[in-house]
A and B are shown apart, each in its own frame.
Chain A
Amino acid sequence: AQSVTQLDSHVSVSEGTPVLLRCNYSSSYSPSLFWYVQHPNKGLQLLLKYTSAATLVKGINGFEAEFKKSETSFHLTKPSAHMSDAAEYFCVVIRSYNTDKLIFGTGTRLQVFP
């Protein structure tokens, strides 16, 4: 069965420093993986998605993620945090092959300090 594990429930960084949000996945086939962002009391917005093309995926707002099959990881990074990046981030995997249903990680809350 497919699953995702977000390794940190909270991450705190200073503005201008790098961001790393960690996600490991478990899948019996080549997965489709997503990162979504949720600002307080809002819906989710897609940051980026991996669908077996390039392993380094660039998303919106300067975020990127690298698919590493050997490590079963899909960590989200950004070189320089901005105050507006403070939000909850979800790593998501497609539930199984040829389906549209998603499995969500438990989320990582990113705090950015001035």
Chain B
Amino acid sequence: DGGITQSPKYLFRKEGQNVTLSCEQNLNHDAMYWYRQDPGQGLRLIYYSQIVNDFQKGDIAEGYSVSREKKESFPLTVTSAQKNPTAFYLCASMGAPENNNEQFFGPGTRLTVL
């Protein structure tokens, strides 16, 4: 089955610790995205990557870092500099532009910082 996987589903960390969220896709998509979702708000873009070895900051990149060493993988690190990291994190990918910018989403990781 083609799709996007995120792990773990739930993650607990102590304040001040860095944590890395995994995102893997086997859809052969070039573009990948990380979003943060908070209650009562829409999704906000953290980082995105349109090609391997390249990525760009989104709207709320402070306190986060990413890498894109492989096409299939786009891990997100939540650093201790992120002031309010508790949230639901969603990864997405997108294929060819002729698909009219449809993004495919993973199941999400709920991060709770204690």
User: Which residue numbers of A lie inside 8 Å of B, CB to CB?
Assistant: 9, 32, 34, 36, 41-46, 49, 51, 90, 94, 100-107
Contact = CB atoms under 8 A, between A and B. Distances in A.
Interface residues of B, number: 28
Contacts, number: 58
Q: Is the interface of B mostly helix, strand, loop or mixed?
A: strand
Contacts of A105: 42
A25 to B, nearest CB: 13
B101 interface: yes
Interface in B30-47: 31, 40-45
B41 A106 contact: yes
Given A100-B31, A104-B42, A45 B105 contact: yes
Interface stretch (B61-69, B72-80, B106-114): B106-114
Contact of A41 (B102, B106, B108): B108
Contacts of B106: 43
B4 interface: yes
B27 to A, nearest CB: 13
A59 to B, nearest CB: 12
Contact of A90 (B43, B44, B58): B43
Smallest CB-CB A-B distances: 3 pairs: A104-B42, A43-B105, A44-B105
B20 interface: no
